[in-house]
Amino acid sequence: MFITFEGLDSSGKSTQVQLLADRLSRTDHNVLVLREPGGTEIGEKIRKLLLDKQTLGMTDACELFLFSASRAQLVAEVVKPALDGRMVVVCDRYMDSTTAYQGWGRAIPVDVIQAINRCATSGVPPDLTLFIDVPVAELQRRMMRASKDRMESSGNEFFERVRAGYLALAKSEPRFKVMDGMMNVDDLHESVWQEVEHAFEKTGSQQTK
């Protein structure tokens, strides 16, 4: 099973990733938690470059290819071997982030994004994608409490476009589930867990307990 979490920055998705991984581990699943960009030695170097506020003048195309390069390395080096080994892979961001951020957010044509995504993922899609949806105004309130990285500093109009992209994906992709990120942490986790149980049942995998 390959499960991905998506959401705008400060939506709470990383907390939900860890809660799900912990619960899956308690039900005797072999779980691997990953993040994008990153997850490999090469990917972590790319991550540092992408998120560093001192990285100035990066073009939208450069940003797209760097995110995709990190993903390509992660899929080949980690994701595919883990899935072949029958692990449950839980990833904090994946190809839908590129569609939403670089496609809808940066206005790179979506057909270009889709072609690059197919190459970067080697045709390995998630079985389930959970989008933690939070209004942009709330996200900005949350981000006031911490310093922002390069991507987080993109502004409200950018994030509104990204959110619209995610919601469009949810309408076109059956694997895509929209979760109410305004719920408290525990209630949101229970909603996530229900979706994961349904996904296990649909794929015929060992059911969660």
164-169: long-range pairs with CB below 8 Å, 24+: 164/104, 165/99, 165/100, 165/101, 165/103, 165/104, 165/105, 166/6, 166/7, 166/8, 166/96, 166/100, 166/104, 166/131, 166/133, 167/133, 168/104, 169/96, 169/99, 169/100, 169/131
Averaged pLDDT for residues 173-182: 97
Residue 166 identity (one-letter amino acid): Y
pLDDT digits (tens, 9 = 90+) for 139-154: 888 877 666 777 877 7
**pLDDT, position 97:** 97
* 75 SS3 class: helix
Mean pLDDT lowest among 14-28, 29-43, 78-92, 133-147: 133-147
* Radius of gyration for the alpha carbons in the chain, expressed in angstroms and rounded: 16
DSSP symbol at 126: -
In the chain, what are the domains? 2-203 (3.40.50.300)
Residue type, 176: F
Please compute the mean of the pLDDT values over residues 62-67 and round it to a whole number: 98
Please state which of the ranges 43-52, 123-132, 195-204 shows the lowest mean pLDDT: 195-204
- Tokens at residue 193, please? 């867990």
pLDDT at 205: 54
* Confidence band of 209 (pLDDT split at 50, 70, 90): very low
Write down the pLDDT at residue 24.
98
Mean pLDDT of the chain: 94
